[in-house]
Amino acid sequence: MAVITTVILPVFFVVALGYLVRKFGKLDERVISRVQLYILTPSLIFMAMAGTNADNGLIMKVLLHVTLLSILLYIAAQIFGGLRKAGSIERNAISMSALFTNSGFYGIPVCMLAFGEQGVVYAAIYVVCSAAIQATAGVYIASAGNRKPLEALATVFKVPLVYAIIFGRLLSQTNMLPPEPFMKMIRLLGQAAIPLGLLLLGMQLQKIISERISERKGAEGTPKPSQAAGSRMGMDSSDEIADRTGPGGNTAILNGVGAGMLKIVGGFIFGLILLRFFEFDPILRNVILVESAMPTAVNAVVYATEFDCRPRLVTVAILTSTLVSIISITLILNYLG
């Protein structure tokens, strides 16, 4: 019960605010997603890298676990997409939803509540390792469907998250961090990443719901082509076509739900199996298992929006996995005692 009242409810309160802001404020979430992608999230990861005192060997072991887990989830997501007869972009969106874990916005508060200050330190290490996967493989997957392989690979190096990881660790190890006034500025930006990310999630959810309502009303009233086009302004045409295919136009919804469940269930099962091959102290082991089973990250919709990789499907996966996590995280913490 403590997990629900001290972690889950505050998270959903901020998401609800984002929903209301877009509904009544008519804001463009793409602007916010770019601020999040290019400024706030890199600041958060830079501070995480600069602030951890863990040795490089431990970080590499955690990174290896995260990498292997990501590979297994990617394979499972591609198989699931193939069974669903999804196109390449849809399969990439499913893979993004399975790979991107909400280790920071959601995972750090849970680990702090469950495992204390040491849990926060270990969770920060996991966040950095997870961010490294997101900034490289995640960006490539998000952009590959709409770009040639070499162009998609080049996109990886255009995202500042990669450089935040490298320079955060490098400057910390060489005692060459910026002066304290600059560190305070970076810290302030990083602290804004979590609430703004949750607000962005709420805005994306509002977009999905409003579009679904418009589509149902359109189906009942058989609007003219011009009216139908006007009701969907701002949505990528290829995304629109893919989301309306399948029985009842629910392909994106069903794929998103499946991707969200894959993230929760697959993350826990694969994470637990992989831990058998690693020697970690008990608290770190518990943190890794909890983080592995976290829902799809809010940042997944940032990348999906930026690179036109089915943001609707990804947002459904985020919503599904986040709602399911209310029960799953509670069960996992009870399992861990």
What are the distances in angstroms from CA 190 to CA 132, 158, 183?
A: 16, 19, 10
Digit-coded pLDDT (tens) for 181-196: 999 999 999 888 888 8
Percentage of the chain beyond pLDDT 70 is 85
Mean residue pLDDT across the chain? 81
CA 130 to CA 146: how far, in whole Å? 24
Q: How many residues does the chain have?
A: 337
What is the band of 53 on the pLDDT scale with cuts at 50, 70, 90? low
Level-2 CATH architecture, domain 33-191+237-335: Up-down Bundle (1.20)
Residue with token string 């999630």: 201
Residue with token string 């509540």: 113
The neighbouring-strand residues paired with 296 are 101
Looking at residue 150, its pLDDT comes to 65
Q: Which of 98, 89, 102 is nearest to 143 (CA)?
A: 89
What is the band of 75 on the pLDDT scale with cuts at 50, 70, 90? very high
Percentage of the chain beyond pLDDT 90 is 26
Looking at residue 252, its pLDDT comes to 80
CA 331 to CA 337: how far, in whole Å? 10
CA 105 to CA 35: how far, in whole Å? 16
Averaged pLDDT for residues 248-273: 88
Q: Which of 114, 118, 127, 117 is nearest to 333 (CA)?
A: 114
Looking at residue 95, its pLDDT comes to 92
Digit-coded pLDDT (tens) for 204-220: 778 777 876 776 777 66
Q: How many CB atoms neighbour CB 213 within 10 A?
A: 11
Q: How many CB atoms neighbour CB 172 within 10 A?
A: 16
The neighbouring-strand residues paired with 41 are none
Residue with token string 């076509």: 241
Averaged pLDDT for residues 147-164: 71
Cβ within 8 Å of residue 253, ≥6 positions away: 316
Digit-coded pLDDT (tens) for 255-267: 999 999 999 999 9
Looking at residue 220, its pLDDT comes to 66
Strands, E assignment, 39-191: none
Which one has a higher pLDDT value, 264 or 50? Answer: 264
Q: Give the residue ranges of DSSP H helices in 177-310.
A: 180-221, 225-231, 237-244, 251-261, 267-275, 282-292, 299-306
Looking at residue 181, its pLDDT comes to 93
Exposed e or buried b for every residue in 259-268, given b needs 16+ CB within 10 A? bbbbbbebbb
Looking at residue 261, its pLDDT comes to 96
Looking at residue 294, its pLDDT comes to 94
The 3-state DSSP class for residue 84 equals coil
Q: Provide the Cα torsion 90, 93, 94, 98; round to 10°.
A: 170
CA 135 to CA 105: how far, in whole Å? 16
